[in-house]
Structure 1
Amino acid sequence: MFTGPIEDRLAIRELVEAYGDAVTRADKQAWEQNWTEDAVWTLNLPGLEKVEGRKAIVELWVQAMAGYEFVLMSSSPGAIQVEGNHATGRFYTSEVARTKDGTTQRVSGRYEDEYVKQEGRWYIHRRTFKVLYTQDVTEKAGA
């Protein structure tokens, strides 16, 4: 379901697209700018069930990204609902990544999000990720 002002829904979509672009470029500063100071990131992965605060979220992301040669991330919206300066959204993601040991990973997932608008700009306040599908493929030299 998509409800609320189209301008806000577009801004939220662009926020999520900027998030994916920052992941793909491994741009810490750009990625960090998508989160509120008191954000919460839930990954539903052992040991990473809940990370609180932008600083801790960014530190975890930097550590995780250090293990990859590249990551290509794209997202498609399933829902965006805006009510004033608060909104929720659901996005489906597709990622292809290569680890530094040469393993190619394909991951499809779903984000359930909460957003807040502060000083005229939308930010991610809560982001919960659920893996829907994952596949690891070890590549041969020259592949």
Structure 2
Amino acid sequence: MTTLQDITDRVEIEALRGEFTDAVMTRDYDRFAALFTVDGAMRIPEVSELVGRTEIRAGIERMQGFWDYFVQTIHPGTIQLAGDTATGRSYISEFGRLRDGSSHLNYAVYHDRYQRTQDGWKFTERVYEIRYIDSAPLTGSVP
């Protein structure tokens, strides 16, 4: 049976995932780091492993600095609740052009672990798994 608390938790976790993408897109690095627990981790295999808010903030700012433009769209996935913790997946499509002129179109999955805190739900871990990558030059431009 689904309880009102289950529904509330799912809505709050989905909002957390939306805040993540919004913080990336607006380059709000402080807000981005605050979406993680103090000892939270963001892992991008073969690229970066960031642990703790300070590393996460510095790492996302460094990585975003490589992009001329970047667009990330999140698509809802699963959420499995377990009291004050939860796990889930969300699906990502991204594209952009790096400052070196290379282009990327990615489809990926975030594998997540969440924790209920005094400040609401936070990521304890977010692992990025690329499912498809295309590095063909993008034909569009930034207005």
TM exceeding 0.5:
yes
Residues 96-115 of structure 1 aligned to structure 2 (within 5 Å): 96-115=95-114
Q: Which amino acid aligns with 1:73?
A: Q
Change (3 A) 1:139 1:92: closer
Q: 1:8 deviation in Å?
A: 0.5
* 1:7 CA displacement: 0.8
Structure 1 unaligned residues grouped into runs of 5+? none
Using the TM superposition, give the Cα deviation of residue 141 of structure 1 relative to its aligned residue in structure 2, in angstroms: 9.6
TM-score by length of 1: 0.87
Count of matched residue positions in the alignment of Structure 1 and Structure 2: 140
- 2 CA distance for matches of 1:141 and 1:125? 36
Structure-to-structure mapping, 1:70-109, within 5 angstroms: 70-109=69-108
Instruction: Quote the Cα distance in structure 2 between the aligned partners of 1:120 and 1:8.
Output: 13
User: Counterparts of 1:54 and 1:61 in 2: how far apart (Å)?
Assistant: 10
1:15 correspondence with 2:19: no
CA deviations 1:24-49 (Å, max 9, x no partner) are 11111221121111012221115x2x
1:117-141 deviation per Cα after TM superposition (whole angstroms, max 9, x unaligned):
1115000001111110111233579
After TM superposition, what 4+ stretches of structure 1 lie above 2 angstroms from structure 2?
A: 101-104, 137-143
Amino acid at match of 1:21: D
Q: Distance in 1 between matches of 2:139 and 2:108?
A: 27
TM-score by length of 2: 0.87
Moved more, 5-14 or 70-79: 70-79
Q: 1:54: how far off?
A: 1.6
Which whole-Å CA distance do the structure 1 matches of 2:114 and 2:78 have between them?
A: 13
Contact 2:109–2:129 at 8 Å: present in 1 too? yes
Q: Is the 8 A contact 1:41 1:126 kept in 2?
A: yes
* Partner Cα separation in structure 1 for residue 74 and residue 95 of structure 2: 12
Corresponding residue for residue 44 of structure 2: 43
CA RMSD of aligned residues (A): 2.3
- Deviation at residue 102 of structure 1 after TM alignment: 3.2
Q: Match of 2:25, as an amino acid?
A: T
User: Identity of aligned pairs, percent?
Assistant: 26
> Amino acid of the residue matched to residue 37 of structure 1?
V
Say whether 1:129 aligns with 2:128: yes
